[in-house]
Amino acid sequence: MLVALDGHGTPFELPVAAEEALFRIAREALINCAKYSGATRASVCLNRGARTIRLAITDAGRGFELAVSHPTDHVGLALVFMHEAVGADPVSPLASLSKREHQILQLIADGTSSAEAAALLFLSPKTVETYRSRLMHKLGVANYSALVKFAIANGLTTN
């Protein structure tokens, strides 16, 4: 299989664990392209943003509909295995949260006010409010009470 490589953005050094995860994902995806898609060509593109990395692997072979694929289907298992290889939970929206976002969500679940959370984390109340707004957007909840319900439902309370 012919593989084209491309990259965009300013190069920067990644933690070794991130480099290894990107390598494992790319390797697994290319192996799956060669084994299952019938592709004769593939491309690997690495786009670097200010604080993000996006790895895109495409091929010209047979595909599958992700929306109708389930982890019990053979085609869906490869995606689950790739998530497991990098330690991510493909189902949990909590996997996308930063450590600080996780801390703030846990404080919200415990009923801590923004001012109290700010004092505990050595942040300004405005910063805590910004994190709360980002959490609502990332987790797809419409309001504060839905955010609290989400946190409680996902076992983030310490009380």
Query: 149: which 2 tokens?
Result: 């319900």
Specify the pTM: 0.45
Q: Which has the closest alpha carbon to 18: 81, 101, 79, 88?
A: 88
| pLDDT tens by residue, 81-101 | 555 555 554 446 777 788 899
Q: Is 91 exposed, middle or buried (0-12, 13-18, 19+ CB in 10 A)?
A: exposed
Say yes or no: domain 93-153 is CATH 2.40.37.10.
no
3-state secondary structure of 80: helix
The vertex-25 CA angle with 20 and 151, nearest 5°, equals 90
How far apart, in whole angstroms, are the C-alpha atoms of residue 7 and residue 22?
A: 13
Residue-range domain boundaries for the chain: 2-85, 93-153
| pLDDT tens by residue, 101-129 | 999 999 998 999 999 999 999 999 999 99
Q: Which fold has domain 2-85?
A: Heat Shock Protein 90 (3.30.565)
